[in-house]
Structure 1
Amino acid sequence: MKFFIDTANLDEIREAYDLGVLDGVTTNPSLMAKEGISGDSNVMAHYKAICDIVDDNVSAEVIATDFEGMVREGKELAKIDDKIVVKIPMIKEGIKAIKYFHSEGIRTNCTLVFSAGQAILAAKAGASFLSPFIGRLDDISFDGLDLIEQIAHIYQNYDFETQILAASLRHTMHLVKCAEIGADVVTCPLKVITGLLNHPLTDKGLAQFLADHAKVNKG
């Protein structure tokens, strides 16, 4: 399973990269705004700064919702760095754009996915990644993990090459369950990834080891 971090914060990206488990980054206009990044040139420069930190897979989102606009913006984003994956919304014009980018050899991430039917369309169009938002489904009393499992089953049936990128993860059990049911990638805040480090028995065991070491080395 690949780990992506969902942020535009360079310090968090560096921390995740230094941990040795980071495979990519996802961003969106909201995350850019949170970091105070505005204006096309500044956004482009920030994407480049992210690319300079990580090894691959930096999802950069188009703003346009029409085919021509998405193609124009996507081409500009793809020019930033070979690591860029153009993030396209799950709408009719978006599916057309994904098909176009696939024919041009430009990787895409189909975002805002909430159903298996949408997942089938994205895979048929040639999306590189598919982003079902499991946390947002949970928010409206649907089980987002059930959707991941359903999509994984469908993709396996037909050998679709699109990778399932589970998004909107809220906690470590989301991540573990996604691994269990077959998501190819997860994207989440840094705290969800570092949360995997924590277990009370690890803390207790380490404290005991250190206490025993101190006893035998006293004096």
Structure 2
Amino acid sequence: MKFFIDTANLDEIREAHELGVLDGVTTNPSLMAKVGIKGKNNIFKHYKSICDIVDGDVSAEVISTDFKGIIREGEELAEIDEKIVVKVPMIRDGVKAIKYFADKEIKTNCTLVFSAGQALLAAKAGATYVSPFVGRLDDISMDGIELIESIVSIYENYGFLTQVLAASIRHPVHILKCAEIGADVATCPLSVITSLLNHPLTDSGLKKFLADAATFTE
């Protein structure tokens, strides 16, 4: 499974990269605003800064919801760096734009996916990634993990190359469940990734090892 970090914070991206587990980054306008990045030129420069840190794909989201606008923004974003993946909403014009981008060999991430049917359409259009939102489905008492499982199964049935990028990951159990059922990518905050490091038996075992090691120098 690939680990993407869902942020626009450069310090967090560097920390995840230094940890040695970072495969890519997902961002959106809200995350840009959260770190105080505003204005088209500044946002584009920030995307470039992210691309300079990571080795893998960086999802950059369009604002437009009409076909021509999505195409215009997507082509501009793709010019920033070869690592840029154009993030497109799961709407009619979004699916049309994904087909256009696929024909132009521009990578795409179809976002705001909440059903297997939507994921099927995105794959048919040629999306590089599809982003089902696990946590948001859980919030309305639906099973986000079950959706991931359905999409993985459908893609395997027909040999779709679209990668399943599990989004809206809230805790480490989400990551592990997605890994168990074959999601290609999990994108989440750095804190969720680093929580996988923790186990009380690791802490107690290390404490004992260090205590025993201290007796060697006495």
Q: TM-score, normalised by structure 1?
A: 0.99
1:1-219 superposed matches below 5 A: 1-218=1-218
Superimposed CA distance per residue, residues 129-173 of structure 1 (whole angstroms, 9 cap, x where no aligned partner): 000000000000001000000000100000000000000000001
Deviation string, structure 1 residues 47-71 (Cα, Å, up to 9, x no partner): 0000000012000000000000000
Q: CA deviation at 1:216?
A: 2.5
Name structure 2 gaps, 5 residues minimum. none
Q: Secondary structure at the match of 2:177?
A: helix
What amino acid is the match of 2:25? Answer: V
Deviations 1:185-211 (CA, angstroms, capped at 9, x unpaired):
000000111011000000000000000
**Secondary structure in 2 aligned to 1:80?**
coil
Equivalent position amino acid for 1:144 in 2? G
Q: What is the count of residue pairs matched by the alignment?
A: 218
| Cα distance in 2 between the residues matched to 1:157 and 1:117 | 14
Q: Deviations along 1:15-40, whole A, 9 cap, x unmatched?
A: 00000110000000000000000000
Measure the CA separation in 1 of the matches of 2:124 and 2:154.
Answer: 12
Distance 1:44 1:50 in 2: 10
AA partner of residue 141 (structure 2): S
Q: Give distance in 1, aligned partners of 2:176 and 2:190.
A: 15
* Secondary structure of the corresponding residue to residue 137 of structure 1: helix
SS in 2 for 1:4: strand
Give the letter aligned to residue 15 of structure 2.
E
Using the TM superposition, give the Cα deviation of residue 108 of structure 1 relative to its aligned residue in structure 2, in angstroms. 0.1
Report how far residue 217 of structure 1 moved: 1.6
Specify the SS of the correspondent of 1:117: helix
Distance in 1, matches of 2:15 and 2:178, equals 23
**Partners of 2:158 and 2:56 in 1: CA distance:** 27
1:102 partner letter = A
Hey, which bits of structure 1, 4+ residues long, moved more than 4 A? none
SS in 1 for 2:60: strand
User: Can you give the 5+ residue segments of structure 1 that lack an aligned partner in the other structure?
Assistant: none
Q: Using the alignment, how far apart are the partners of 1:86 and 1:205 within structure 2? A: 45
Give 3-state SS (helix, strand or coil) of 2:79's partner.
Answer: helix
TM-score when normalising by structure 2: 0.99
